[in-house]
A and B are shown apart, each in its own frame.
Chain A
Amino acid sequence: MRKYAQLLLIIPFIGMCVLLPVADRIEPYILGLPFLLFWIVLWMILSSVVLLIVYKLDPANKGSEV
């Protein structure tokens, strides 16, 4: 299972590209940002989260560094 963890990397592409047309709007404002800009920032944060999860799952990162 863990070998396929890298497939999760597709998620940010879905958020940033596939779902983008839904986010192309000014309102509602979130955290002071127009919705479209908030969406981009949100996915930048989620990209980091996804990468962290993949890193933790990836068996190649276990043990001490060679």
Chain B
Amino acid sequence: MNSALVIIFLVAIVALYLGIRATRGKEMNVNEFAVGNKGFGTLFVFLLIAGEVYTTFTFLGGSGWAYSKGAAAYYVPAYICLAYVLSYWMVPKIWRFANKHGVISQPQYFMKTYNSKALGLVVAFIGLIALIPYIVIQLKGLGIIVSEASYGTISPLMASTIGAAIVTIYVTVSGIHGSAWNAVLKDIMILFVIVFLGIYIPYHYFGGIKPLFEALQTAKPEVLTFASEGFSKSWFISTIVLNAFGFYLLPQSFSVVLSARSERALKKNAITLPLYTILILFAFFIGFSAIIQVPGLEGADGDLSLLRLTMQTFDPWFVGIVGGAGVLTALVPVSVMVMSGAVGLMTGFYKLIKPNSSDRQQLTVSKLFVLFIILTAYIFSIFGGEALAILNIMSYGLITQLVPALIFGFFNTKFMNAYGAIAGIITGVSIVLFNSVTAFKLVNIFPNIPSVINDINIGFVAIAINIFIGVSVSLLTNTFVARESSKVVEEMAK
């Protein structure tokens, strides 16, 4: 056993201990399990929201994108930052409604806004389809981190298995409380690791940040600006706006919003979170350094750039610390995702077939759904190949299709009712699914359009059609509904 492995194991054990201990002295019920009895103050909400950002993606993907795609990687901090800006307007509205109506999950939110159980069911399933690939990516990432950092002693499969087991145990015991306490440990570790690596590596190899970029400008200047086609400016702008709207609709982020104690906790976080996101810059420095220092990682192997460079630069014990931080960046988000998905299914599906279930039954069913979701994700992480990459790209596209229904819901207008919302969402989701499977671009329909338009994120087009269908159906059914109710009035008058 090498020192790296010892440290990784220690971190895993501490995570398990913290996760289980988190609910000590608390009476567990559904509300406590799902949203911590809506009692989380500014700091916990901050760490949980930030925790959704600093996932294995920061570790592997952030540096990996910078390595293989250059400036296109900037979309990550850009959309997250705009999501926080937008959240100041959007999130208090969600929180206020949820607080007033005792909402504990996303499907329930839509169900109560539009007074439609069918809509709740649709939202629960879309949430699930969007979540599973996320969880799978984290489990796979965890496997890669541990197997690399243990110098191959532990196989990725074994690492994913242990990781999945730890998450299952502490989510079942503690619900969202386990995630909150682990988020504290995780952010301390990742902060230290990413800042240290992001400064040390450029200074060690190039003599500074600026010399690093100057070396890149000489060797590969194209990585420092946007491409003229593909990952171009119009791709960048459309993607960051789309993702900014979608960010808080991911079931796991939505759950964190519901767990806040007050509106003000959420607003205060919106102010500081953009600054916290700047940390991802350090991951880019590492990825950019790797372009010159460990060239030749092709395709998905670009995601290994951070780990490879770390192993080339440091002693095993430090690799162990990096690996341990990597493990936590997978465990915390996975736990929130699994929990929010399970509660979503419970409120959207189980309550539908058993409306009079007791709190105890609901808690048990939520825990069974935890098992179901993590097992599904685990199986996908072993057997799912290419299908997974497609699903992951789709996640945001799918979840953003809920945006029109959410925003119309704020204003309670006649332009959107439950029928319209369902029709719009299903149309939008179908377009996104169809696009992912066939990989069509606008150029296939309109052969002569310039790349500026062709590169626009297809989710955007889907949203436009979603709104059009949603509003049309609503207006049509409104008159129908009105006629029905006037008939009732007439009959009652007779």
> A residues within 8 Å of B by Cβ?
6, 9, 12-13, 16-17, 20-21, 24-26, 29, 32-34, 36-37, 40-41, 43-45, 47-48, 50-52, 54-55, 58, 60-61, 65-66
Contacts and interface: CB of A to CB of B under 8 A. Distances in A.
8 A-B pairs with the lowest CB-CB distances in the bound complex, closest first: A32-B210, A32-B209, A47-B274, A51-B271, A17-B237, A48-B274, A44-B81, A34-B224
A6 B89 contact: yes
B483 interface: no
B185 interface: no
11 contacts: A13-B85, A24-B233, A26-B224, A34-B217, A37-B74, A37-B284, A47-B274, A51-B84, A55-B270, A61-B264, A61-B267
Given A6-B89, A36-B224, A41 B278 contact: yes
Interface in B245-270: 262-264, 267-268, 270
A60 B267 CA distance: 11
A48 B84 CA distance: 9
Nearest to B217: A26
A51 B264 contact: no
B82 A16 contact: yes
A20 B78 CA distance: 11
B81 A47 contact: yes
Contact of B82 (A12, A32, A52, A60): A12
Nearest to A56: B271
A29 B275 CA distance: 21
B89 A16 contact: no
Given A36-B71, A40-B77, A44-B278, A20 B221 contact: no
Contacts of A34: 213, 217, 224
A66 B92 CA distance: 14
Contacts, number: 100
Which of B77, B88, B236, B277 has the most A CB atoms < 10 Å from its CB?
B88
Contacts of B263: 60
A6 B92 CA distance: 13
Interface in B86-130: 86, 88-89
Contacts of B226: 24, 36
Contacts of B82: 12-13, 16, 47
B88 A6 contact: yes
Interface in B191-230: 208-210, 213-214, 217, 221, 224-226
B272 interface: yes
B81 A52 contact: no
* Range of interface residues on B (Cβ < 8 Å): 35 or more
B236 A12 contact: no
A66 B214 CA distance: 53
Contacts of A40: 74, 77-78
Given A32-B209, A34-B213, A44 B74 contact: no
Given A34-B224, A44-B277, A45-B278, 6 more contacts: A20-B236, A32-B208, A36-B224, A41-B281, A48-B272, A55-B270
Contacts of A37: 71, 74, 224, 281, 284
Contact of A36 (B85, B225, B237, B270): B225
Nearest to B66: A37
B225 A26 contact: yes
Nearest to A30: B210
Contact of A65 (B85, B240, B264, B278): B264
Contacts of B240: 16-17
Contact of B77 (A12, A44, A50): A44
B213 A32 contact: yes
B77 A55 contact: no
B78 A9 contact: no
B241 interface: yes
Given A12-B82, A13-B241, A44-B77, A24 B281 contact: no
A54 to B, nearest CB: 6
Contacts of A12: 81-82, 85
A21 B217 CA distance: 19
Given A44-B274, A51-B270, A33 B85 contact: no
B262 A65 contact: yes
Nearest to B271: A51
A16 B271 CA distance: 17
